[in-house]
């Protein structure tokens, strides 16, 4: 997939790339005031405002619509800030382009739908405009990659992805679970795409923003999108997660930005040595796992010969207890040990079951 370097973007887009602005454009003065205050921080690369808002229920504020595009673009021009807004269909694209918005973003509710993504990708075909693609609401990496591909295939090469978390029905302190492994897997699949993080929509509150923003930076993400509003409590959408431009400034001020690479040979050498140690440890762990599976096979054969059941509850309980005690003394977190044991146990039951049912594999569900 061809993705342009951020150096080719029409404005500064190098790391840390910071997007801020209100969740929604509400009034002309709110948009101008926010842009002015954010510009003053000197920390914003791209000014955002939602013009069409995808809301869960009808009759909530669904955005000011077309008129807001002028407010956004004029406020951006007045402050010398490029602008961005969310587009969800071809008509949004047409209006946003006509108004002179500099960057388009595809929202999480749109990325889930390949028809809508294709419609937007077709609407921008032939236009040299950067596009940011948020992850789909559900944790589906392929769907996210597919959306990026639809733009790349239409010749849109100035692309970034944005991690905004994933919807879950489980109780959680987050509005959307971060599931960091998914943006990490995206980076592994498409190394050339810069990935931004949107702590506002991950958290859904203010107090967790800085922790998520710091984690994103520590993972080497390319930048952040943080919603900012002059009076967040009175915002017409996403009131709980927006921060004032002053608090946005403080949050970024306190952020520690570590570099993704080092040119210092001493640091690089030390890292290399430590990584070699990790490589050896991983090889050792895998050899031990293979050895463990060899013994599990022997146990399976033995149980089969002696007509014993695979699952022996007392033994399983004893394993759980003794391993978790050992792990405690080794300072290994409890959650890690129980996940590891559960996985090992499942695999060992599977292996023994295959031995007991040799010749009847077709009847097995796995």
Of the pair 32, 109, the CB lying nearest ligand PEP is at 109
Shortest Å distance, C-beta 37 to ligand PEP:
19
Shortest Å distance, C-beta 134 to ligand PEP:
5
Report whether 72 contacts 47 (CB < 8 A): yes
247 φ/ψ angles, rounded to the nearest 5 degrees? -70, -30
The answer to whether 197 contacts ligand PEP (rule: CB under 6 A) is: no
Cα R_g (the chain), whole angstroms: 26
**Binding-site member from 63, 76, 82, 107 for ligand PEP (CB under 6 A):** 107
Shortest Å distance, C-beta 164 to ligand PEP:
4
- Please tell me the chain's helix, strand, coil percentages from 3-state DSSP, rounded to the nearest 5: 50, 10, 35
User: CB under 5 to 8 A by kind: which of Mn ion, ligand PEP, none does 108 bind?
Assistant: ligand PEP
Give the C-alpha distances (Å, rounded to integers) separating 362 from 112, 213, 308, 359. Answer: 36, 49, 22, 8
Of the pair 105, 151, the CB lying nearest Mn ion is at 105
CA distance linking residue 271 with residue 290, whole number of Å:
29
Which residue, among 7, 61, 52, has the nearest Cα to 194 in the 3D structure? 7
User: CB under 5 to 8 A by kind: which of Mn ion, ligand PEP, none does 69 bind?
Assistant: none
- Comparing every residue's Cβ against Mn ion, the nearest one is 23
Report whether 71 contacts 65 (CB < 8 A): no
- Name 196's bridge partners: 162, 223
How many residues are listed for the chain in this entry? 366
The answer to whether 108 contacts ligand PEP (rule: CB under 6 A) is: yes
Shortest Å distance, C-beta 286 to ligand PEP:
39
- Comparing every residue's Cβ against ligand PEP, the nearest one is 107
Shortest Å distance, C-beta 112 to ligand PEP:
10
Task: Kindly report the number of other CB atoms within 10 A of residue 146's CB atom.
Answer: 15
Report whether 227 contacts 20 (CB < 8 A): yes
- Map the footprint of ligand PEP across residues 122-181, applying CB under 6 A: 134, 164
Q: How many residues sit in the footprint of ligand PEP (CB under 6 A)? A: 10
Of the pair 114, 338, the CB lying nearest ligand PEP is at 114
- Which residue is associated with the tokens 């079951």? 353
What residues line the site for Mn ion (CB under 5 A)?
23, 238
Shortest Å distance, C-beta 259 to ligand PEP:
28
Of the pair 119, 296, the CB lying nearest ligand PEP is at 119
The answer to whether 101 contacts ligand PEP (rule: CB under 6 A) is: no
**Binding-site member from 23, 96, 99, 224 for ligand PEP (CB under 6 A):** 23
Report whether 125 contacts 154 (CB < 8 A): yes
E strand or H helix at 133 = strand 131-134
Of the pair 54, 284, the CB lying nearest ligand PEP is at 54
Give the C-alpha distances (Å, rounded to integers) separating 174 from 186, 240, 241. Answer: 21, 12, 11
Task: Kindly report the number of other CB atoms within 10 A of residue 10's CB atom.
Answer: 12
Q: Which stretch binds ligand PEP (CB under 6 A): 107-115, 228-236, 282-290, 358-366?
A: 107-115
């Amino acid at each position: 997939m061809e993705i342009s370097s951020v150096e080719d973007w029409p404005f500064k887009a190098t790391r840390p790339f910071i997007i801020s602005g209100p969740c929604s454009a509400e009034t002309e003065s709110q948009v101008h005031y926010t842009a002015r205050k954010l510009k003053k921080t000197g920390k914003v690369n791209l000014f955002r405002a939602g013009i069409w808002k995808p809301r869960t229920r009808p009759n909530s504020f669904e955005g000011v619509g077309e008129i807001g595009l002028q407010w956004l673009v004029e406020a951006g021009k007045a402050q010398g800030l490029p602008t961005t807004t969310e587009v969800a269909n071809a008509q949004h694209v047409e209006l946003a382009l006509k108004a002179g918005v500099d960057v388009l973003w595809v929202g999480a509710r749109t990325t889930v739908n390949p028809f809508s993504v294709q419609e937007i990708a077709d609407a921008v075909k032939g236009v040299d405009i950067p596009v940011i693609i948020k992850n789909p609401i559900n944790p589906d990496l392929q769907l996210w990659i597919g959306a990026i591909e639809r733009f790349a295939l239409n010749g849109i090469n100035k692309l970034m992805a944005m991690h905004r978390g994933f919807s879950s029905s489980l109780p959680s302190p987050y509005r959307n679970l971060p599931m960091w492994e998914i943006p990490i897997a995206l980076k592994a699949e498409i190394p050339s795409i810069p990935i931004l993080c949107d702590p506002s929509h991950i958290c859904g509150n203010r107090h967790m923003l800085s922790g998520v923003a710091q984690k994103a930076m520590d993972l080497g993400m390319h930048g952040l999108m943080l919603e900012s509003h002059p009076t967040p409590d009175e915002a017409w959408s996403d009131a709980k997660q927006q921060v004032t431009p002053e608090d946005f400034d403080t949050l970024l001020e306190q952020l520690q930005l570590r570099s993704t690479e080092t040119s210092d040979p001493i640091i690089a050498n030390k890292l290399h040595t430590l990584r070699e140690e990790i490589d050896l440890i991983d090889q050792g762990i895998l050899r031990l796992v293979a050895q463990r599976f060899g013994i599990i096979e022997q146990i399976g054969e033995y149980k089969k010969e002696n007509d014993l059941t695979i699952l022996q509850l007392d033994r399983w309980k004893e394993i759980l207890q003794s391993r978790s005690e050992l792990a405690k003394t080794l300072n290994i977190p409890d959650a890690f040990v129980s996940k590891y044991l559960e996985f090992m146990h499942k695999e060992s039951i599977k292996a023994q079951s295959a031995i007991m049912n040799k010749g009847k594999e077709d009847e097995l569900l796995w």
